[in-house]
Amino acid sequence: MAHIPINIQIKNLRKKLHLTQVDFAKRAGVGLRFLRKLEEGKPTVRLDKVNQVLNFLGFHLELERNDRAKSESESESESESTDNSSNLKKDHERT
Between CA 78 and CA 22 the distance in angstroms is: 52
Instruction: Find the length of the chain.
Output: 95
- For 49-90, the pLDDT digits (tens) are 999 999 999 999 988 888 876 677 676 666 555 454 444 444
Q: Write down the pTM of the prediction.
A: 0.69
The arrangement of secondary structure in 6-57, i.e. its CATH architecture, is Orthogonal Bundle (1.10)
Between CA 34 and CA 11 the distance in angstroms is: 13
Which CB contacts under 8 angstroms, 24+ apart, belong to 50-58?
50/6, 52/28, 53/10, 53/28, 54/10, 56/27, 56/28, 56/29, 57/10, 57/13, 57/14, 57/28
- For 2-22, the pLDDT digits (tens) are 689 999 999 999 999 999 999
Domain boundaries, the chain: 6-57, 64-95
